[in-house]
Structure 1
Amino acid sequence: MKLHGNAYVILICFTAGFGGFLFGFDTAVISGAINFLRVQFHLSPAMEGWLMSSALLGCVIGAAIAGYLSDKYGRRKILLLSAILFIVSAIGCAIAQTPSILVGARIIGGVGVGFAAMVAPMFISELSPAALRGRLVSFYQLAITLGILCSYLSNAFLLQYADHHITGNSTGLLHYYLVAEVWRGMLGSNMIPALFFFIFLLFVPESPRWLVKEGHIAEAERVLERVNGKEMAVSELSAIEMSISEESGSFRQLLAPGIRLALIIGISLPFLSQLSGITTVMYYAPAIFEQAGGQAGSAMGSATVIGFFNMIFTFVAIWKIDKWGRKPVLIWGFAGLGLALFLIGIAFIKGNTTGNFLLGSFIYYIAVFASTLGPGVWVVISEIYPTKIRGRAMSVATLSLFLGSTFVTQTYPILRETIGIGYVFLLYAFVMLPAAYFVRKLVPETKGKSLEAIEHFWKK
């Protein structure tokens, strides 16, 4: 029996969202390994930053070319390619013998992340009914948070396993990968979900809007019919064809009046969201808590708590984003993060890092980010562009996000050593109020509108 309607859409979005899971897992799993890598390879702060941000360089490369590739070859094929890159990266990280090889493997994984991060939310957006689009694209962010949490849990489990077996006389591959150099097991564990992602993708359809763009009308109608029913499929197909017929399909279209504002929003909003320091928190959470006075195990436990709240509060966005709207969610997100970052910075400056205040401040930070900016940014950038150039335009937006993430990740170790952790977080806090003002003045409300209606709004 074939699934139809919302059940069919949710199944497709679940599969595409698996790309978000791998995004979160791949980018956060390094947090448990970095202290081991710092000791084993005698990393300087600059090299540490490069090792951490090398995956983000791959993300930048992947995001830069994924738009062109997805517009030319389809959304589904690029997601399949991203799954293959995840598998290759996990193997490379597990067998790396030098920092250079490890960096190379991380870059390959980063390209996979860049592909998945750009294509998966766009794929979900193009398949989702307007009334559910915000929730379903937010599901992608939920998958990212679940991947982050699972990476923390996986690291904690492997660390505990290694601690219990370190005194034994065991040898062999398992001992080498899971005990003697446990970081290899941490970084290689991403191969398992990547294999599942590849298999699941073999059973999902192509985006109906891409199919219409390429002239595969009958196939697009079949997909739309399973999503919305026969009557709605005919109406939506007509709207998609009309909208696409009015588009030039060139990059120059992004510079047209109206659409130009969408381009500015798509570049600025993702970059500003990364200046909140979210990658610093996710990548360095265990190390931050260790520097605050915790042991390795308890630091990993604190990071896992943060990962758990990151996932839980994403449900708030899934529940409310189509009701509250995109704009209020983003404004309150930037404002709330400014307060959270201020509290974290003050805790480090005052030396109040041994009690629950610091952990509570981090949890508040994560709760705000997960329920606002985390999903909100992906929702906005996945729905504001015309169909013919949506892939390339989203490449620009996703590229901006990863450039911001790379900038923050690369500069954090250097700033940490020069001005101190507390002042780094105060610096992040300072950026949040101008970001909230940017959203208030320039970002329009798009809840409940079809992608074609949003496109016509820009043209007006």
Structure 2
Amino acid sequence: MKTQSKGYTRYLLVTVFVAAFGGFLFGYDQGVMSGAINFIGPVFHMSSGVLGFVSGGIPLGAFFGCLIAGWLADKVGRKIVMFVSAILFTISGLGCAAATSVTIMIAARLIGGLGIGMVSTLVPVYIAEIAPKEIRGKMVGGYQLAIATGIFIVYLVNAIIANTHSMAWNQDVGWRMMFLAGMIPGIIFFLLLFAIPESPRFLINKDQEDRAASILQRMSVQPKEEIDAQVKGIKQNVIAESQNKSFTKDLFKKGTRMALFVAIMCSVFQQLTGVNAVGYYAPTIFKDAGAGADAAMIETVFIGVIKVLFVAFFMGLIDKLGRKRMLKWGSYAMALCLFIIAVLFAQDPITKAFNIFIIVLIVLHTASFEMSWGGGTWVLISEMFPNKIRGRASSIASAALWLATYVVTQLFPVMLDKLGSVWTFVIFGLFCVAMGLFIQIFFKETAGKSLEQIQQDQKAGSID
């Protein structure tokens, strides 16, 4: 097998690519509503509250999908549950496209949310379990790159559909085409999953060391002796964990309970940056800032490009600079952008120059997010828990993230309406300051350490 100079094989890169493609589904479904929301509201005569609930169907469904995924993943494996997520996502796209009522639309969105919750829990965990420690952050970051790519593609699809047809056509057919196109990545993901193996660490946990060693050997250029030693070390860790039969006791034992606290807080904080709320309502924000409807959609596509570009930077830096540094300074950079945006929105009237400055600041905020909390949160969740309970523990943190997403999605339009743009952005800016302080106080660096070493350091209380 041809190998790469970095010490890993093409087989590893292909496997990571396929698994990370699950993030494309996440990104597509996160972004599709930003284009469809302007057309489905009048069609179904939705109030702002109902429209918010339709938008929030994905994060609400994902909350429950996360909880299901973790338990299933530790029982039957990561790969099978990813297959299920692909099927649910495909069904959701068809259901939304064919919806004839608000009830059907909400049901389809909830089904899609179940699939997105599953994939958002398992893909980072799966990649973390197969990737070498030296590049684990970069590989897990590939999941965020897929999310950003999915968002960019759906923004592009939305813009093409919306800007090449009349309003009447878009209200009748266009928004259905936006959702129907989402079936394509779901089907592709399902087919690609046949090409990747089960997680070696899951197999070792199920006493299948020989099979796990074979998979690890295909993914690494290390000699067989080092692979055997790695498998032995993982097995010893599994045996030590197996002495406790209670998931609850495992979750709240020394070291793990602090990891759970940090993971849940980081999951919630990721949504309190306001980035997903901005993403859902980006065309509306640009339109309020003075852009026309068509220009707002085009500017949203540009945001998608920024996401992809800066996730790529994140992947190149996360293992070199470390998680802590990037999360902390990313928080403060986002806070600064949000505070300045608030000041600009306070101007009356908002001039054309201010409109341009607001768009620039939203771009900078997006870039800061993708360079820090966008992928960093998924990296942390994927590497902080013991092998035995990694699926279920990660599902709790992921569920917290999706619950926070749902709450923010519901509250963001209400905040804009009741508090106005100024105070809405001030509040999110204050949250960003709190995030930076939290990372500085509570998070200890995990870059460059094996998953087993992270667990040992947590038990000893010495991660730094």
Q: Which range, TM-score by smaller chain?
A: over 0.9
Q: Which amino acid aligns with 2:236?
A: M
> CA–CA distance in 2 between the matches of 1:54 and 1:327?
32
Q: Which amino acid aligns with 1:36?
A: F
* 1:290 corresponding residue in structure 2: 287
Q: Which amino acid aligns with 1:341?
A: L
Q: Which amino acid aligns with 1:334?
A: S
1:23 to 7, 26, 36: 26
1:141 aligns with 2:120: no
> CA–CA distance in 2 between the matches of 1:285 and 1:440?
31
Q: CA deviation at 1:42?
A: 2.1
Residue pairs, 1:245-264, within 5 angstroms = 245-247=239-241, 248=244, 250-264=247-261
Q: Which amino acid aligns with 1:187?
A: F
Q: 1:11 to 1:3 in 2, by over 3 A?
A: farther
Q: 1:69 to 1:40 in 2, by over 3 A?
A: same
> CA–CA distance in 2 between the matches of 1:291 and 1:103?
27
Q: 1:353 to 1:386 in 2, by over 3 A?
A: farther
* 1:172 corresponding residue in structure 2: none
Task: Indicate if the aligned counterparts of 2:318 and 2:326 stay in contact, CA closer than 8 A.
Answer: yes
* 2:200 corresponding residue in structure 1: 208
> CA–CA distance in 2 between the matches of 1:409 and 1:82?
22
1:323 to 317, 320, 325: 320
Q: Which amino acid aligns with 2:276?
A: T
Q: CA deviation at 1:158?
A: 1.1
Q: CA deviation at 1:3?
A: 7.5
* 2:180 corresponding residue in structure 1: 188
Task: Indicate if the aligned counterparts of 2:213 and 2:227 stay in contact, CA closer than 8 A.
Answer: yes
Deviates more, 1:337-346 or 1:361-370: 337-346
Deviations 1:79-107 (A, max 9, x none): 11000001100000000011111011011
Matched-pair identity in %: 38
1:239 aligns with 2:260: no
* 1:173 corresponding residue in structure 2: none
> CA–CA distance in 2 between the matches of 1:138 and 1:145?
11
1:162 aligns with 2:181: no
When normalised by structure 2's length, the TM-score is: 0.94
Deviations 1:92-142 (A, max 9, x none): 000001111101101101111000100001000000000010100011101
Task: Indicate if the aligned counterparts of 2:415 and 2:424 stay in contact, CA closer than 8 A.
Answer: yes
* 1:338 corresponding residue in structure 2: 335
When normalised by structure 1's length, the TM-score is: 0.95
Q: CA deviation at 1:2?
A: 8.2
Q: Which amino acid aligns with 1:275?
A: L
Secondary structure of the corresponding residue to residue 388 of structure 2 = coil
**Which runs of 5 or more residues in structure 1 are unaligned?**
168-175
Q: Which amino acid aligns with 2:77?
A: G
1:53 aligns with 2:56: yes
> CA–CA distance in 2 between the matches of 1:282 and 1:112?
20
* 1:170 corresponding residue in structure 2: none
> CA–CA distance in 2 between the matches of 1:349 and 1:50?
29
Task: Indicate if the aligned counterparts of 2:35 and 2:175 stay in contact, CA closer than 8 A.
Answer: yes
Q: Which amino acid aligns with 1:246?
A: A
Task: Indicate if the aligned counterparts of 1:316 and 1:371 stay in contact, CA closer than 8 A.
Answer: yes
Task: Indicate if the aligned counterparts of 2:2 and 2:10 stay in contact, CA closer than 8 A.
Answer: no
Deviates more, 1:55-64 or 1:288-297: 288-297
1:218 aligns with 2:215: no
Q: CA deviation at 1:349?
A: 2.0
Residue pairs, 1:45-84, within 5 angstroms = 45-84=48-87
Q: CA deviation at 1:27?
A: 1.2
Q: CA deviation at 1:179?
A: 7.4
Q: CA deviation at 1:423?
A: 1.5
Q: Which amino acid aligns with 1:262?
A: A
Q: 1:390 to 1:87 in 2, by over 3 A?
A: same
Q: CA deviation at 1:353?
A: 6.4
1:271 aligns with 2:274: no
> CA–CA distance in 1 between the matches of 2:177 and 2:3?
38
Q: 1:353 to 1:317 in 2, by over 3 A?
A: farther
> CA–CA distance in 2 between the matches of 1:3 and 1:388?
31
Q: CA deviation at 1:9?
A: 1.1
Deviations 1:3-46 (A, max 9, x none): 89331111101001110011000111110010111222222221
Deviations 1:136-181 (A, max 9, x none): 0011101100000001001011113323xx79xxxxxxxx7x7732
> CA–CA distance in 1 between the matches of 2:119 and 2:226?
29
Residue pairs, 1:406-445, within 5 angstroms = 406-445=406-445
Q: CA deviation at 1:334?
A: 1.1
Residue pairs, 1:367-406, within 5 angstroms = 367-406=367-406
1:302 aligns with 2:299: yes
> CA–CA distance in 2 between the matches of 1:48 and 1:346?
29
* 2:10 corresponding residue in structure 1: 7
> CA–CA distance in 2 between the matches of 1:309 and 1:105?
30
Task: Indicate if the aligned counterparts of 1:292 and 1:353 stay in contact, CA closer than 8 A.
Answer: no
Report how many residues are paired: 449
Deviates more, 1:426-435 or 1:107-116: 426-435
